Amino acid sequence: GWEGVLLDGKLDLWVDVAAGQGSQSLRLDPGGFVPVRHRTLLVGVALGPTWTWGRLGLSTGPRVAGLWLERSFQLELLDRSERYVTAWPGWMAALSFRFSPVWTVEARAQALWAYVPVDGQTRTVGFGGLMLAGGYRF
């Protein structure tokens, strides 16, 4: 089997998916407000070791996420959408508590960065997040 092959069987793989959408009004001077909608899809993978002490675990490792973003402007004279896809490399760290042999609850922090085209210019964008999740250990 795979036991003992990678870091004594303590190398973990995390896979996650997050989606969101929203709308807001962009204020222009002069001209009033422009309605803007946005949607996002983030698919991420992280790989790293987990050190355990009883039911507690500490994990850390590299993470990469694929990000799809869309924003659209709804005006009477212009109905335009911008879409792009980018990869976000980064790092994650997590603290977990195993409350059964296979079920865990986990608090995870992550930091990601990427080059993203915004308004015709490519910019460096950072992203940080904290999440609380439940999981199943295979």
Is 90 exceeded by the pLDDT of residue 108?
yes
Give the per-residue pLDDT at 10.
67
Q: Both tokens of residue 126?
A: 């950072």
Tokens (6 digits) for 120: 């015709």
H helices of the chain, where? none
pLDDT band with cut points at 50, 70 and 90 for residue 111 = very high
How far from 89 is each of 35, 46, 71, 93, 98, CA to CA, in Å? 32, 10, 22, 14, 28
Average pLDDT over residues 74-101: 86
CATH numbers and ranges of domains, the chain: 7-136 (2.40.160)
Helix (H, G, I), strand (E, B) or coil at 31: coil
